[in-house]
């Protein structure tokens, strides 16, 4: 059974930094692309970033480019999102998601972790 | 960036009736289109991928159609558990983008 467990969310001041983690199990982690998707309170889904299984290809939404960095440790089956220069509009639930294959749709999602940026 | 536009924003339908949700892409995405269902307080769930292929364990009452720029999600006979928010997602081009969602509510 695929399981994705996010952690690291919390309250942070505007301009601050935070690192999210996603512990994966139930599949061969290094074989799959992974994504972060966020959802602001009461709003829709926004794709944030994606990373290939071998970590040699990354993509970012324009809204986070230059401020967020996605990475992974395949030896620990863990995905990360390093967030810096945080803004009030980054307040959201952040979901970790497994891609069916690199560059394809997301087929499994974690339960999310809430990041709140205070001004 | 590919813009995905869903309509209507809210759809009111009675249980047992058919619901038809639309998703339009600003450019062709071929058939690289997925649909997700999200209930309050839950993560999204994959319903359809490749525009028309049902995901694992998805009831047959959910079906998808379309290609290029116009896509449709149809729920043939609404059950109480189907009232939720539905999102389309294109994965034809980076960045991956979602529609803004359609809220399906009980009439």
Residues 6+ apart with CB under 8 A from B46: A105, A106, A107, A108, B34, B35, B36, B55, B58
Report residue A75 as tokens.
């030896």
Cα A109-B33-B62 angle, rounded to 5 deg = 75
Nearest residue, CB atoms, A44 vs list B46, B95, B101 = B101
Q: How far does the CA of residue A54 sit from the closest CA of chain B (Å)?
A: 18
Set of chain A residues whose Cβ sits within 8 Å of the Cβ of B38: 45
Rounded Cα gap, residues A27 and B78, in angstroms:
33
Q: Does B86 touch chain A (CB under 8 A)?
A: no
Say which DSSP state B15 is in.
T
Residues of chain A with pLDDT under 70: none
Higher-confidence residue: A83 or B107? A83
CA distances from A118 to A13, A63, A88, A91 (A): 5, 18, 6, 8
Q: Within a 10 A sphere around the Cβ of A72, how many other Cβ atoms?
A: 22
Residues 6+ apart with CB under 8 A from A116: A10, A11, A12, A91
Tens digits of per-residue pLDDT, B44-92?
999 999 999 999 999 999 999 999 999 999 999 999 999 999 999 999 9
Residue to mutate among B4, B37, B42, B43, with most A CBs inside 10 A, is: B43
End-to-end Cα distance, chain A: 40
Cβ–Cβ below 8 Å for A60 and B43: no
pLDDT band of residue B24 (cuts 50, 70, 90) is very high
CA distances from A81 to A21, A68, A116, B15, B38 (A): 7, 7, 15, 41, 23
Q: Which strands make up the sheet holding A68-73, listed edge to edge?
A: A3-7, A18-25, A78-83, A68-73
Q: Does B46 touch chain A (CB under 8 A)?
A: yes
pLDDT of residue B86: 98
Q: Does A63 touch chain B (CB under 8 A)?
A: no
Rounded Cα gap, residues B62 and B56, in angstroms:
12
Cβ–Cβ below 8 Å for A44 and B96: no
Overall average pLDDT of the B2-14 stretch: 96
Strand partners, B89: B34, B98
Using DSSP, state whether A4 is helix, strand or coil.
Answer: strand
């Amino acid at each position: 059974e695929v399981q994705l467990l996010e952690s690291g969310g919390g309250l942070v001041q505007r301009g601050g930094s935070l690192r999210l983690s996603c512990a994966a199990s139930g599949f061969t982690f290094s074989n799959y692309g992974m994504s972060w998707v966020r959802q602001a309170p009461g709003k829709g889904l926004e794709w944030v970033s994606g990373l290939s299984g071998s970590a040699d290809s990354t993509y970012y939404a324009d809204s986070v480019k230059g401020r967020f960095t996605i990475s992974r440790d395949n030896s620990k089956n863990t995905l990360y999102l390093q967030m810096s220069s945080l803004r009030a509009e980054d307040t959201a639930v952040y979901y970790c998601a497994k891609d069916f294959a690199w560059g394809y749709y997301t087929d499994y999602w974690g339960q999310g972790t809430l990041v709140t940026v205070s001004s | 960036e590919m813009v995905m536009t869903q309509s209507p924003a809210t759809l009111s339908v009675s249980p047992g009736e058919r619901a038809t949700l639309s998703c339009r892409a600003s450019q062709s995405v071929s058939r690289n289109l997925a649909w997700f269902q999200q209930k309050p307080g839950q993560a999204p769930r994959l319903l359809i991928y490749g525009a028309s292929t049902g995901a694992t364990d998805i009831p047959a009452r959910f079906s998808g159609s379309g290609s290029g720029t116009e896509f449709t999600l149809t729920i043939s006979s609404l059950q109480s558990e189907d009232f939720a928010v539905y999102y389309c997602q294109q994965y034809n081009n980076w960045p991956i983008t979602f529609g803004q969602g359609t809220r399906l509510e009980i009439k």
